[in-house]
Amino acid sequence: AQRVTQPEKLLSVFKGAPVELKCNYSYSGSPELFWYVQYSRQRLQLLLRHISRESIKGFTADLNKGETSFHLKKPFAQEEDSAMYYCALSVNTDKLIFGTGTRLQVFP
């Protein structure tokens, strides 16, 4: 079955600390993975997708097919990074399957 697991509901760090938001997936096909972010009182926004291999707002994510993971990383967290982060898996290029999300809190 297709599944996305985000094991942490909440991750708290201090400003300037490294951040790693974990995402593991289960899918027998060729995965396409995304990270979405939702800031307070705003809509879901696409942060990055693995096929683009880009860095947005200092965040990167590498697809590890051996570990079936797509962890989101940032070397130095900023207070404005505080938000809800969702990992999502594209199935058959038709729809997204989301994880339950991780709330990132960055303290000053």
**Interacting residue ranges for other proteins, rule: CB under 8 A:** 4, 9, 32, 34, 36, 43-46, 49, 86, 88, 90, 93-101
- In the complex with other proteins, the residue whose CB is nearer, 13 or 101, is 101
Give least dist CB 7 to other proteins, A. Answer: 13
Give least dist CB 25 to other proteins, A. Answer: 13
CA separation, residue 97 to residues 33, 47, 62, 88, 105 (Å): 10, 16, 18, 5, 24
The closest of 67, 73, 71, 68 to 29, measured between CA atoms, is 68
Residue pair 52/34 in contact (Cβ under 8 Å)? The answer is no
- In the complex with other proteins, the residue whose CB is nearer, 66 or 93, is 93
